[in-house]
């Protein structure tokens, strides 16, 4: 957060009742976290866990990743996917060449 110049005051935080599976506990408690960064107008909603504290952590981490992507213009997930596809293609190519050489 310090590297990107993000402060805690820049966030708007709300706690919402979760939806979906989980029974009465989910329907009665406000465990889902909604975070919004005021300067960039990016927002994240997280309800992975039943714990409000964990959801706050996950939402903050995801929002910081989104802000970093917006500032730097790099999408790390896309780069990882591309690298994974390149590795798969290389292994397929090696296997095919190995088959052709053995025959």
Rg (CA), the chain: 21
In contact, 12 and 36? CB cutoff 8 Å? yes
| pLDDT over 90 at 57, yes or no | yes
Q: What is the dihedral sign for C-alpha 20, 22, 24, 25?
A: negative
Give the H or E element holding residue 62: helix 52-72
pLDDT tens by residue, 2-36: 777 788 888 899 998 877 666 776 677 888 899 99
């Amino acid at each position: 957060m310090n590297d990107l110049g993000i402060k805690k005051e820049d966030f708007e935080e709300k706690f919402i009742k979760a939806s979906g599976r989980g029974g009465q506990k989910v329907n009665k408690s406000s465990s889902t976290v909604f975070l919004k960064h005021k300067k960039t107008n990016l927002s994240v909603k997280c309800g992975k866990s039943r714990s409000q504290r964990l959801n706050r952590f996950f939402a903050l981490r995801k929002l910081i990743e989104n802000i970093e992507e917006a500032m730097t213009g790099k999408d790390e997930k896309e780069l990882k996917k591309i690298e994974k596809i390149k590795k798969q293609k290389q292994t397929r190519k090696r296997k095919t060449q190995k088959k052709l050489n053995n025959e």
